[in-house]
Amino acid sequence: MLSASSSVNNQPHAIRRPHLNLWKKNLGVVPESVWEHTELETLVLADNNLHEVSPQISRLQNLRMLDLGHNQLTQIPATLGKLVNLTDFLYLHDNKLSDLPHELQHLTRLRYLNISENQFTHIPECISAMQSLFELRADGNRISELPVSLGHLPKLRELHLRNNQLTTLPAEIASLRELRQLDLRGNPIAHLPHQLATLPRLEKLDLRWVSTLDPPPWFATLEANGCLVYR
């Protein structure tokens, strides 16, 4: 049995801990014993050449942070949506994901989500229901447009979309009234909605490595309000 201190537990009366770090252990498959640690609050399974994750992960009802990054996942179990106490971080970056199960819409307390370096061509609709998101990272995919519903994230402060295939953004982006940072580097942006100039807390608009956009006059309004526009 794997202990929650990330080592093999040969002590029958060992104290259970709420953190299990199995980073880069060359597992290939997650040991079934992991799902017995229902006390876990953080679980790191990054960089283990995982191709799947058992639906049994839903047993870990106390999880606050889950790291599945740097694996070979093409899908994640829908039962992940049952982890309603997942509040801090969900790392899914550097896998082979192209969509997320709609059940993840129940992760309404999650504050940080990283789906970078996957095979997404769109932002999964379930993300728009994650009402507590502070930061969304979706760099290095093939996303060509953003859903209008992305404007339904009232607490979002950072939106990272570097190196995708975006040519514009929906005007509804202006509904993100808490947005501080918007990273659009390396996208073929041809047009940006003037509503961006109305975002009251925007501190950084990053357009470096964008050669397809003629800077609109309202950039001056952003800069006058203290926003740094990198281009």
Tell me, what's the pLDDT at 6?
44
Give rounded-to-5 percent helix, strand, coil for the chain. Answer: 20, 15, 65
Tell me, what's the pLDDT at 17?
72
What is the CATH code for 144-231? Answer: 3.80.10.10
- The CATH 3.80.10.10 portion of the chain extends over 1-139, 144-231
* 1-139: CATH topology: 3.80.10
For residue 67, what is the enclosing H or E element? strand 65-67
State the Cα torsion 141-171-227-159 to the nearest 10°: -30
Give the integer Cα–Cα distance in Å for 98 and 122.
8
Tell me, what's the pLDDT at 84?
97
CB 144 within 8 A of CB 166: yes
**pLDDT tens across the length of the chain (231 residues):** 454 544 334 334 445 679 999 999 999 999 999 999 999 999 999 999 999 999 999 999 999 999 999 999 999 999 999 999 999 999 999 999 999 999 999 999 999 999 999 999 999 999 999 999 999 999 999 999 999 999 999 999 999 999 999 999 999 999 999 999 999 999 999 999 999 999 999 999 999 999 999 999 999 999 999 999 999
Tell me, what's the pLDDT at 15?
55
Report residue 219: phi and psi, to 5°.
Answer: -55, -35
